[in-house]
Structures are given as structure tokens and as C-alpha cells.
């Protein structure tokens, strides 16, 4: 485990009032970058800790490198403690329903009057506008933001296979924090940062919006798209194994034909250029499929690797726990959980000066740091705390 010394946000303190994925992602990024992130949990702990099904991994994934303090901010005592903690901090994160933090006296308008240097980050469903009072979930905005339409086959909108808007919304919240810290260095004042699921999804769909603006034709869903490249698909090999293969230039197509020991395929007039191959794509894919169906992946992959042809096996998330690149590059590291066992977690996908931003402490137990943090409060000095 690494230490906070020398990390970019060392000395920055964050108070996090969040749950689920979006807000916790923002807090985790700031924590990984070296900030002291204090997660405020309700009595009994954040409910995300005990989600079943596809939500079971949320808490472990998005809450590393944080401290846990239990406060009941529904009570005057809890609100007073929260305000004093905020007064000692640089940043507040929240992702509750619109207006809830205001009801507790912990909204930006009230806090900014008392603490003008405070940076306050709200993660919401929608930015200010006609939809701002609506409640939203990742899947809701995928449906209304074009993503589900583009992901599923025609007539069957399909959500993406992970919480893309929640995670990216937290990333944009963190980007806003970094910009606000930089601006505070110049002006001495904090500000409110807002990040939202719907606008995030519209950003993800922006390339398809421009496609329509330029062609005046609604873009078809990805499974029905007209590919820009002729060979860019999943093929079924011997024993039912599947492999994605891409040949996105004329040179790569010739190379692929040579790898498959079928150089004559590249000599056919209808396959002479990428544009011609796209026109003949159904037949080309059928020709390649017939060749590949009798080849084993273990024999083909080294040839594609050596020839520089893009390829990818179809990998389940559980298989990534044994991925040699993730492990050897330092992107998958052990973390002690709040239950005392150890699990491997995926680090942020970046390096700073060649170093990975690692796990610095075990995943916090519910309220593990309550006494430590609240003992710093002036109003608690001399009390039981």
C-alpha cells in the first residue's frame, strides 16, 4: 500500500455525503489522488454496503481510500457536527435528491455564505432546466439519452452492461473539482460544481447527434449500423470459441488474408479497397466465417499478434481477475475489505509520472473513523465524542 505523501491532492480534505455509484466514484478518484476523503454514513451504514445482485460490488469498487464517519444528519446534532466538519474542509460531495441537503441546512447557498472558499459538488440526474426536479437512474437516462437505442438491436433498446453514466458522472464531478481548486488558487473563492446523468448520456451520444446533423438520417443502432470498416466483427472459430477481428485498412486486410493462408481473397476485385469491401461486407464476412470456423483460437491468436492485426477474445468480467496485463502492469491490486478478507481491485486507468495511484488503506468499516474525526471538532472537545 502506498502513502499519501507526494500525491497531487495531499492536504485537501473532502466531506462526502453520497451513496450508490455516482458520488462515490467522484470521492474515490479524489481519494486515490491523495485527498483525505471522509465519507459520512447514516447510523447502520450506507445501504449500498448490503445491496444484492448486480449491486453487490458497488461499495467495494467505489469507496476505497476513504474514512468512514457515522452521523445522523437528520438530527440537529448531526447537522451541527456536519457543518463544523465542512468548515474544516475544502470540498463537499453529495448526490441526494434535489433539495434534500437544503432541508438539512447543508445546501450550497447556506454553506457558501459561511465558508466562501468551499467547493461544493452536486451529482444529480439533470442540470438546471425543465427536467431538474425529476429523479433519475443510470438506466433511466440511458433510455432517454440515446444510449439504449444505440446499444440494442432495432426495436430492442438495451442498457449498457455497466453503470456508464454514474461512473462518468462521478469522473466529471472530479474534473470540476480540479478546475475549481485551480480557480480558487487565483480568486480565493470556492464555487458549486454540478454533474448530471442525463447530460453525461447526451455527451456519450453526441457523435451520433452530429451524424444526424450532417446526414439528416437518424443513425441506426450499433448492431444494425453500416460499418466504416469491412472486417470489424466477432467470428466463431473451432469449438465455438469467439474472437473479434478488425482489419481497418487495405494493408491490414491483405495481411489478414496472408495470415489465414488465403492471399487470393485479397485479389478479388470486389475486395480491392475498403470502400468496395464495405459494399460487399455480408459476402466478405461469410467468406471469412467459412475460413475461420475450422481454426482454433489458440493457433490463430499468435499469428494475429505477430502480424499486428487487431483482435480480442470475448472476455467475461470474472476472467479479468486473472488478466496477465492488468496484474503485471499494476492495475489490479489487493485491498483488505471491511470484512477482513482480501479482494483484488481495479485502479484508476492512468499513471502519473509512471506511478499508479494505489490502495493506501483497508476499506473502512462502518463508522471506523468516527471518534478520530469528531474529536477534532471544537464543540466536541471535552465531550465523550
Residues 347/360, Cβ–Cβ less than 8 Å: no
Which CATH code is given to the segment(s) 227-316? 3.30.1540.10
- Cα–Cα distance measured from residue 240 to residue 282, given in angstroms and rounded to the nearest whole number: 21
By CB atoms closer than 10 A (0-12, 13-18, 19+), residue 121 is buried
- Cα–Cα distance measured from residue 138 to residue 115, given in angstroms and rounded to the nearest whole number: 32
Residues 80/379, Cβ–Cβ less than 8 Å: yes
* Residue among 217, 244, 223 nearest 315 (CA): 244
Domain range 13-204+323-380, CATH class: alpha beta
Domain boundary assignment for the chain: 13-204+323-380, 227-316
The reply to whether 13-204+323-380 and 227-316 are identical in fold is: no
Q: How far is CA 163 from CA 26, 141, 168, in A?
A: 14, 11, 8
- Cα–Cα distance measured from residue 183 to residue 186, given in angstroms and rounded to the nearest whole number: 5
pLDDT at 379: 64
By CB atoms closer than 10 A (0-12, 13-18, 19+), residue 304 is buried
pLDDT at 2: 45
Mean pLDDT, each 10-residue run in order, the chain (385 residues): 76 98 98 98 97 96 98 98 98 96 98 98 97 95 98 97 98 98 98 98 98 96 90 97 97 98 97 96 97 97 98 97 97 97 98 96 98 86 45
H/E element holding 121? strand 119-124
Any bridge partners for residue 40, and if so which? 69
pLDDT at 385: 36
pLDDT at 384: 43
- Cα–Cα distance measured from residue 90 to residue 15, given in angstroms and rounded to the nearest whole number: 8
* Residue among 217, 277, 283, 224 nearest 248 (CA): 277
Report DSSP state, residue 219. Answer: P
Amino acid at each position: 500500500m502506498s502513502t499519501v505523501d507526494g500525491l497531487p491532492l495531499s492536504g485537501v480534505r473532502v466531506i462526502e455525503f453520497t451513496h450508490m455509484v455516482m458520488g462515490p466514484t467522484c470521492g474515490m478518484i479524489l481519494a486515490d489522488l491523495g485527498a483525505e476523503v471522509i465519507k459520512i454514513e447514516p447510523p447502520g451504514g450506507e445501504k449500498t454496503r448490503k445491496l444484492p445482485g448486480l449491486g453487490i460490488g458497488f461499495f467495494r469498487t467505489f469507496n476505497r481510500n476513504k474514512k468512514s464517519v457515522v452521523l445522523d444528519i437528520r438530527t440537529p446534532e448531526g447537522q451541527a457536527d456536519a457543518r463544523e466538519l465542512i468548515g474544516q474542509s475544502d470540498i463537499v460531495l453529495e448526490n441526494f435528491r434535489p433539495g434534500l441537503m437544503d432541508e438539512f441546512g447543508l445546501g450550497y447557498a447556506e454553506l457558501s455564505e459561511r465558508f466562501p472558499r468551499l467547493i461544493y459538488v452536486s451529482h444529480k440526474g439533470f442540470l438546471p432546466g425543465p427536467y431538474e426536479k425529476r429523479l433519475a437512474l443510470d438506466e433511466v437516462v440511458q433510455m432517454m439519452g440515446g444510449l439504449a437505442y444505440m446499444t440494442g438491436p432495432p426495436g430492442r433498446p438495451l442498457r449498457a452492461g455497466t453503470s456508464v453514466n454514474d461512473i462518468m458522472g462521478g469522473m466529471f464531478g472530479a474534473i470540476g473539482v480540479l478546475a475549481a481548486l485551480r480557480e480558487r488558487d487565483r480568486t480565493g473563492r470556492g464555487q458549486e460544481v454540478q454533474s448530471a446523468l442525463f447530460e453525461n448520456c447526451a455527451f456519450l451520444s453526441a457523435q451520433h447527434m452530429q451524424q444526424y446533423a450532417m446526414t439528416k438520417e437518424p443513425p441506426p443502432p450499433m448492431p444494425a449500423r453500416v460499418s466504416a470498416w469491412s472486417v470489424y466483427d466477432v467470428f466463431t472459430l473451432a469449438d465455438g470459441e469467439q474472437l473479434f477481428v478488425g482489419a481497418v485498412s487495405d494493408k491490414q486486410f491483405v495481411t489478414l488474408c496472408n495470415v489465414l493462408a488465403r492471399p487470393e481473397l485479397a485479389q478479388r476485385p470486389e475486395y480491392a479497397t475498403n470502400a468496395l469491401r464495405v459494399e460487399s461486407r455480408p459476402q466478405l464476412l461469410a467468406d471469412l466465417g467459412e475460413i475461420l470456423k475450422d481454426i482454433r483460437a489458440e493457433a490463430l491468436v499468435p499469428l494475429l499478434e505477430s502480424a499486428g492485426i487487431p483482435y480480442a477474445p470475448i472476455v467475461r468480467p470474472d476472467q479479468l481477475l486473472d488478466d496477465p496485463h492488468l496484474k503485471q502492469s499494476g492495475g489490479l491490486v489487493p485491498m483488505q475489505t471491511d470484512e477482513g478478507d482480501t479482494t483484488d481491485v481495479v485502479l484508476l486507468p492512468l499513471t502519473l509520472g509512471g506511478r499508479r495511484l494505489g490502495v493506501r488503506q483497508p476499506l473502512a468499516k462502518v463508522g471506523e473513523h468516527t471518534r478520530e474525526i469528531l474529536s477534532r471538532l471544537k464543540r466536541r472537545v471535552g465531550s465523550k465524542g
